[in-house]
Amino acid sequence: MQLNTSYQYIPVTNLQQALKWYSEHLGFKLAVEDPICLELRTESGVRVFLIPNDEGKVTSHMNYANGVQATYGFTVAEDIHSLYQQFKDKGIKVGKLSDYQGLSFKFFDPDGNAIELWGDYPTT
C-alpha cells in the first residue's frame, strides 16, 4: 500500500463562511458540495472536509491544561517567518513561532479550531 495524501474533518458553525475563509487564507477551492459537508482541495491535493458544528461545541484540536494542541497541520515551502507575519497582519489569531524540528506556528480559524503551519525539518 502507498498512501498518497490525507484529509481532515473540520467542524465549523457556518459552511459558506468557512469556505470563504479557508479559500482566502489557505488557498483551498471547493471540490464537492454535499448536503452534509463541503470538500475543499488545494492544487497540490490536500483535502479538508468542512462539517456542520451547529452548536459550536466540537473542536478539531486537543485541549490540555497548558493550552491546545492542533491535531492537523500543513507543511509549507514558503518562508515561515513571512507567513507568520502575514497571518498576524490579516488579524488571524496566531500562537508563538516555535523552533522544534523546524519552524512552525499555531493559528486559529474563525471557529477557534487550532491548525499548525510547519516549515518542515531543517536542511542544515
Q: Is pLDDT above 80 for 122?
A: no
Cβ atoms 38, 15 nearer than 8 A:
yes
Other CB atoms within 10 Å distance of the CB of residue 62: 11
Where does the pLDDT of residue 58 fall: very low under 50, low under 70, confident under 90, or very high at 90 and above? confident
Q: Is pLDDT above 80 for 3?
A: no
Q: How do 7-12 and 47-52 pair as beta strands?
A: parallel
pLDDT tens track for 69-117: 888 899 998 899 999 999 999 999 999 999 888 899 999 999 999 999 9
Burial of 2 (0-12, 13-18, 19+ CB in 10 A): exposed
CA nearest 22: which of 45, 4, 49?
Answer: 49
